[in-house]
């Protein structure tokens, strides 16, 4: 398994390639913009993209989907149903991504020999998910290095955010945290230094 990060778009959204190097296939996580640049990175990886995995439906995480679909028309796109205009999300912030498959808590997606597990982690948005694959956690805009995502936009909720952060903090082991913005981190480091994660963990512990 190999993970490559590209910062795309005007606010530097982290787009990730999750590659199964043995089977030469990959997933694209949060292609927020610059589809041509992402497609070039995919070609250079030597892998064929099978799926797009969206951690939530905000425009800065979905803006490159249409361009990637033109390049790779058979690619499936996954998004939680609650982050769609059909579920009441405002289209200016949550633009329609046609023909999505909807995943939810406990679902898994296969990327070659890799299994990606879906964790529903609302707080930043109603449909925010975190994606766990091996020892890597794609945390979207839920968990950042030393911080957490904002909760003042449509569907945001601070109490839900703290619950989601606590749940991530209580996952087993030390995971590489690949957030939606800013630098990568480790779950063990976040358990030690992240005040929001620590508060969430205290809420959930008996």
The pTM of the full predicted model, rounded to 2 decimals, is: 0.97
The token pair that represents 129 in the structure block:
């998910």
39: Cβ contacts below 8 Å, ≥ 6 apart: 67, 68, 71, 72
The pLDDT of residue 87 is 84
Residues of the chain with pLDDT under 50: none
Cβ-contact 123, 92 below 8 angstroms: no
Q: What is the rounded distance in angstroms from the CA atom of residue 112 to the CA atom of residue 25? A: 6
DSSP letters for the chain: -EEEEEEETTTTEEEEEEEETTTTEEEEE---S-HHHHHHHHHHHT-EEEEEE-S---HHHHTTHHHHHHHSTT-EEEE-GGGSGGGT--TTTS---TT-EE--TT-EEEETTEEEEEEE--SSSTT-EEEEETTEEEEETTEETTEE----STT--HHHHHHHHHHHHTSSS--EEEESBS--EEHHHHHHH-HHHHHHHHHH--
Residue 106: CATH number of its domain: 3.60.15.10
End-to-end alpha carbon distance in the chain: 36
Rounded distance, CA 167 to CA 56, Å? 18
Number of domains in the chain: 1
For the chain, state the CA radius of gyration: 16
Strands 76-79 and 48-53: parallel
In sequence order, the β-bridge partners of residue 77 are 52
Domain that holds residue 81: 2-204
Q: What is the pLDDT of residue 73?
A: 93
d(CA 57, CA 190): 25
């Amino acid at each position: 398994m190999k993970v490559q990060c590209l910062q795309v778009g005007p606010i530097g959204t982290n787009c990730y390639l999750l590659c199964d190097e043995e089977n030469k296939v990959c997933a694209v996580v949060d292609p927020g913009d610059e589809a041509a640049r992402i497609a070039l990175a995919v070609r250079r990886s030597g892998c064929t993209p099978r799926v797009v995995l969206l951690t939530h439906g905000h425009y800065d995480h979905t803006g490159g989907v249409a361009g990637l679909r033109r390049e790779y028309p058979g690619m499936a796109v996954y998004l939680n149903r609650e982050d769609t205009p059909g579920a009441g999300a405002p289209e200016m912030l949550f633009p329609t991504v046609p023909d999505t498959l909807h995943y939810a808590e406990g679902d898994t997606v296969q990327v070659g020999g890799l299994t990606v597990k879906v964790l529903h982690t609302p707080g930043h948005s109603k449909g925010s998910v975190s994606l766990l694959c091996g020892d890597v956690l794609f945390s979207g805009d839920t968990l950042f290095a030393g911080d957490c995502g904002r909760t003042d936009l449509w569907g945001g909720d601070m109490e839900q955010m703290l619950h989601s952060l606590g749940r991530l903090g209580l996952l087993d082991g030390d995971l590489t945290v690949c957030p939606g913005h800013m630098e990568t981190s480790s779950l063990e480091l976040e358990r030690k230094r992240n005040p929001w994660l620590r508060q969430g963990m205290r809420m959930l512990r008996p």
